[in-house]
Amino acid sequence: MRHLGAALLAAGALTLVAGCGSQVVEPAISASSTLAIAPTSGGPFMGGPRLPAGSTPVSGSRVNATELPAGFPREVWTTGDGATLGLYGEQGGCDTISAEAVAQTSTQVTVRLLQIQQKPAGHVSGCPMYEMVKPLSVTLAQPLGARTVLLQLSIQEG
């Protein structure tokens, strides 16, 4: 029954989308079709950001991301000798994102993500509505070692 419900839901979505134009498109699946549902656990990786090849993940217990909004990427890694810190930021539409190490002590590195939200002058429809995860890197004065990473987000209008 789960497969039939999913197939009908997909068919309804296709019909809804097709109904927005001038031509009607029939869905390619029928009520007797089955729709493969990806497993929620134990299955293959289906998406989301991955760590770059050759990187070393920073343990989640050493990353303080409490100042980031819910759902914001929290993956942190090092590359090379550990003096380059990698992380992901979100940008989209007219927004851009960058990262900077704003403080480095013997116990902690503070990385500020700067998201600039720009409103294009004279652009009637505003910005396109999309969001993407962008890999960022920050060069540290010395390898991260056992230090913790504090992630902050600053949002500015440009």
pLDDT in tens, 55-98: 999 999 999 999 999 988 999 999 999 999 999 998 888 889 99
Selected residue with higher pLDDT from 17 and 150: 150
CA dihedral 42, 46, 51, 56 (to 10 degrees): 10
Residue 137 pLDDT: 96
Q: CB atoms < 10 A from the CB of 63, how many?
A: 19
Between 74 and 10, the higher pLDDT residue = 74
- Please name which of 145, 136, 152, 140 lies closest in space to residue 62, comparing C-alpha atoms: 145
**Which two structure tokens, joined as six digits, stand for 34?**
């089955």
Is there a contact between 35 and 3 (Cβ–Cβ < 8 Å)?
yes
* pTM for the full predicted model: 0.66
The more confidently predicted of residues 35 and 82 is 82
pLDDT range class, residue 14, cuts 50, 70, 90:
very low
